[in-house]
Amino acid sequence: METNLLTDLMLPLSLAVIMLGMGLSLTIDDFRRVVLYPKAVAVGFLNQIILLPLTGFLLIKLFGMDNLELAVGVMILASCPGGPTSNLIAHISRGDTALSITLTAISSVITIITIPIVVNFSLSYFLAHGEYVPLPLVETIIRLIIITLLPVGIGILIRSKAKNFALQMDKPVKILSGLLLFLIIFATILTNHTIFVQSFRDVGMITLTLNLAMLIIGYITSRIFALNVTQSITISIETGIQNGTLGIMIASTLLHNNVMAISPAVYSLIMFMTAGFIIGWMNLKVKNYKLVVR
């Protein structure tokens, strides 16, 4: 994906619209709610901030990826927070929607700092000196704040001042966000079609494994820490459903790299395919859980 109107303007603008939509569904209480779920939030952060990048790194080593730019792309995706889509999937899967929203909101703030750290480590580890330009820490944080946190803040402000308007706009903006995500993935594939097929063969299995592994790890760790089924479902989804749009933007706009953007695009396609299985299985788990507690 060359540096052009798509990567410099349309991609960041689309991400900002998606994050604005997330902000319209949030309130300040979603950030305060962390005190109501201290253990659940801690387990969620353990999975998302630590275990997800670590698992991504270990899978890259295990699969022995030859294309190291794609490997960096996997790490970029693994450094991203849960996407707004995770809240919808958690709701449909009968998880704890309030916990999902809280985890997405707070992780979106924390990863502003952790993303440059993980990405720069990945660049220096997988690529030789002179083959990459590291992300400047302060500048990257500022740009991520402008593109992600600022629209979220505007959305929260709109909701606080005009709740009825925010509620009316919630569904249309979610639909628009879904369409934008699809267009971003489609544009990434279209502009890189000559290398996409080969890249899919190189990165498809590892992204599928990472997605499934994190869904399973998220659920198991939650149960180990004695969280209930609905909380465990939520953390599983928050750990496995990532903000692929942000990953594509980091690779394409901040790093100006065609190949790295393919990994989060492929992951996004795969996570939507697995989402249907997640929803069916999770609904069955909740149904059985409610029968047992009765």
Q: What is the pLDDT, as a whole number, of residue 52? A: 96
Q: What is the pTM of this model?
A: 0.85
Residue 70's pLDDT is what?
94
Model confidence pLDDT, tens digit, residues 224-253: 999 988 899 889 999 998 888 889 889 988
What HEC string does the chain produce? CCCCHHHHHHHHHHHHHHHHHHHHCCCHHHHHHHHCCHHHHHHHHHHHHHHHHHHHHHHHHHHCCCCHHHHHHHHHHHHCCECCHHHHHHHHCCCCHHHHHHHHHHHHHHHHHHHHHHHHHHHHHHCCCCCCCCCCHHHHHHHHHHHHHHHHHHHHHHHHHCHHHHHHHHHHHHHHHHHHHHHHHHHHHHHCHHHHHHHHHHHHHHHHHHHHHHHHHHHHHHHHCCCCHHHHHHHHHHHHCECHHHHHHHHHHHCCCHHHHHHHHHHHHHHHHHHHHHHHHHHHHHHHHHHHHC
**Helix orientation angle between 52-63 and 193-224, rounded to the nearest 10 degrees:** 130
Kindly state the average pLDDT of the residues 190-195.
68
Higher pLDDT, 164 or 174: 164
- Is the per-residue pLDDT at 80 higher than 80? yes
Query: Which of 98, 81, 69, 216 is CA-nearest to residue 149?
Result: 81
Quick check: 62 pLDDT over 60? yes
How far is Cα 248 from Cα 83, in angstroms, rounded to an integer?
Answer: 13
| pLDDT band of 63, cuts 50, 70, 90 | very high
pLDDT confidence of residue 197: 72
Taking 80 as the threshold, does the pLDDT of residue 31 lie above it?
no
Residue 32 pLDDT: 77
pLDDT at position 229, please? 86
Fold classification of 5-293 is: Na+/H+ antiporter like fold (1.20.1530)
What is the 3-state secondary structure of 53-67?
A: HHHHHHHHHHHCCCC
Mean pLDDT of the chain: 83
- Mention every residue, 6+ apart, whose C-beta is less than 8 A from residue 216: 236
Provide the pLDDT for residue 1.
44
Q: Quote the CA–CA distance of 35 and 49 in Å, as a whole number.
A: 19
What is the residue type of 124? S
Lowest mean pLDDT among 13-17, 102-106, 240-244: 13-17
The confidence band for 293, taking pLDDT boundaries of 50, 70 and 90, is very low
pLDDT tens per residue, range 259-280: 898 899 889 888 878 877 777 7
Is the pLDDT reported for residue 121 higher than 90?
A: yes
pLDDT at 35: 78
* pLDDT above 70 coverage of the chain, percent: 89
Our measurement of the distance from residue 59's CA atom to the centroid of its chain's CA atoms, rounded to an integer in Å, reads 18
